[in-house]
Amino acid sequence: MVAGEVEETLVELARVVIAGGAVAHMAGVTTSTAVTAPVVRRVALSVPERRGLAPLDRYARYLEKGVARLAGYVEATRGCLHTCRHCPVVPIYNGRFFAVPAELVMADIRQQVAAGAEHITFGDPDFLNGPGHAMKIVRQLHAEFPLVTFDFTTKVEHVLEHAALMPELAACGATFAVSAFEATSNLVLARLHKGHTVADMGAALKVLRQVGIAPQPTWMPFTPWTSLEDYLDLLLWIREQDLIAHVPGVQLSIRMLVPPDSALLAEAETAAWLGELDARNFTYRWAHADPRMDALHAEVTRLAELADDEDPYGAFAVIEAAAYFVAGRRPPPAMVPVGAVAPPRLSEHWFC
Ligand code: SF4
């Protein structure tokens, strides 16, 4: 396994493999017999070489108003300034992030637009960790390609902190923003060190919607601290905030991962829920104190796999019915979309 700032390590790894050398104990390379620290320092970067990769039409497309367009992908930064306890970025970067030089990002955008991309996904863990850097790139993107749209990922805290930047992001072509809302319980959000509250989530939705950037909240509904009542509250909140079309079924099935070196392992009360390491799947096992939650997770996962991507209301209704059934309660009447236009998104849903 190679993690962190991988480029120089990958080049060295290729050299060693081609020369028939031993890779165990190579700096930055973890094997089944030797664990080494990931490389977390600035490395020399160049414009990604995309010849030899599959053409853009083999990747996820950008969907807006019933039209599918080719989409490109770049990262303006790697790592993250924040240390949310459950996040798999944290064991590697532990609160650090590195900016990719703007001229390299733009050069990569140019080659993807030349290959047909009409939309760019900024795949940074958090695009607004470096707001000055982000704005420099989107201004240039818009100046060179005024018809190219983009999406980005950022945390609730940053939507609020940088609310003044949102009109310009929208004017430069931002059509949707992914944001890890995670939960509608302040207690769970505090456990995860998310840095936001449920009230902040409502405020962030307002900021994004005011400028026409469609919110795409992501969730982690299954944690050791999330009760069945919390799960029902989450569904209700999504209804009340008119977010059903913005939340694919898979997002309602996400279960907390605990990778090796997860910041969660430093928490005092892990003994109550933590199981053994499942090395093959690179996560610790854990079980909920309420077995109904693990059963509900299995059922929601099954329903999400069957869900029709074109019918988020239908998917939401069956998942809602399953959750209320487990709670022994009658679900509210299914929501029916009234003239709702599907929000812009990629053709493959993001989740981790
Ligand atoms: S969840 Fe998002 S904001 Fe938090 S550490 Fe991970 S990437 Fe950063």
Q: What pLDDT, in 10s, does the model give residues 86-126?
A: 999 999 999 999 999 999 999 999 999 999 999 999 999 99
pLDDT of 215: 98
Based on the domain organization, do 212 and 232 belong to the same domain? no
Q: What is the CATH number of the domain that holds 129?
A: 3.20.20.70
Based on the domain organization, do 195 and 70 belong to the same domain? yes
pLDDT of 350: 73
Banded model confidence at residue 34, pLDDT cuts 50, 70, 90: confident
Is there a domain that residue 205 lies in? yes
Asked if 327 and 290 count as a contact pair (C-beta separation under 8 A), the reply is: no
Based on the domain organization, do 63 and 182 belong to the same domain? yes
Is there a domain that residue 352 lies in? no
CA distances from 192 to 188, 204, 247 (A): 6, 19, 21
**Atom 4 of ligand 1: nearest residue by CA position:** 84
Last residue of a domain, one of 219, 251, 281: 219
Backbone angles phi, psi at 319, to 5 degrees: -70, -40
List the domain range (segments joined by +) for residue 29.
Answer: 1-40
Which atom of ligand 1 lies at the shortest distance from residue 194's CA?
Answer: 4
Based on the domain organization, do 162 and 230 belong to the same domain? no
- Which structure tokens are listed for 28? 């930055």
Based on the domain organization, do 155 and 173 belong to the same domain? yes
Which atom of ligand 1 lies at the shortest distance from residue 90's CA?
Answer: 5
Backbone angles phi, psi at 16, to 5 degrees: -65, -45
Banded model confidence at residue 155, pLDDT cuts 50, 70, 90: very high
**What pLDDT digit, counting tens, does each position of 50-94 carry?**
999 999 999 999 999 999 999 999 999 999 999 999 999 999 999
Which atom of ligand 1 lies at the shortest distance from residue 80's CA?
Answer: 8
pLDDT of 281: 86
Based on the domain organization, do 96 and 208 belong to the same domain? yes
What is the pTM assigned to this prediction? Answer: 0.95
Task: Give me the number of domains the chain comprises.
Answer: 3
In the reported structure, the alpha carbon of residue 229 is separated from the centroid of ligand 1 by a whole-number distance in angstroms of: 26
Mean pLDDT of 207-225: 98
Q: Which positions ≥6 away from 121 have C-beta within 8 Å?
A: 62, 71, 72, 73, 74, 150, 151, 152, 346
What are the residue ranges of helices labelled H in the chain?
7-18, 90-93, 102-114, 131-144, 156-161, 166-171, 186-191, 198-210, 228-240, 291-306, 312-326
Does ligand 1 lie within 6 Å of residue 125's CB atom?
Answer: yes
What sign does the dihedral 6-11-14-19 (CA atoms) show? negative
Based on the domain organization, do 196 and 275 belong to the same domain? no
Is there a domain that residue 348 lies in? no
pLDDT of 317: 96
In 10 A of CB 145, how many CB atoms? 17
Mean pLDDT of 222-248: 97
- Chain centroid, CA 203 distance in Å: 20
Q: What percent of the chain has pLDDT over 70?
A: 99
Q: What percent of the chain has pLDDT over 90?
A: 86
Asked if 91 and 79 count as a contact pair (C-beta separation under 8 A), the reply is: no
pLDDT of 46: 94
Based on the domain organization, do 193 and 337 belong to the same domain? no
Based on the domain organization, do 62 and 118 belong to the same domain? yes
pLDDT of 337: 84
Banded model confidence at residue 352, pLDDT cuts 50, 70, 90: low
> pLDDT averaged over the chain?
95
Is there a domain that residue 291 lies in? yes
Based on the domain organization, do 182 and 300 belong to the same domain? no
Kindly tell me if the per-residue pLDDT of 142 is higher than 90: yes
Based on the domain organization, do 11 and 113 belong to the same domain? no
Kindly tell me if the per-residue pLDDT of 340 is higher than 80: no
Last residue of a domain, one of 219, 243, 258: 219
Mean pLDDT of 43-52: 94
CA pair distance 245, 259, nearest whole angstrom: 31
Asked if 124 and 76 count as a contact pair (C-beta separation under 8 A), the reply is: yes
Ligand 1 pocket test, pick from 155, 178, 182, 261 with the greatest ligand atom count within 8 Å of Cβ, gives: 155
Banded model confidence at residue 284, pLDDT cuts 50, 70, 90: very high
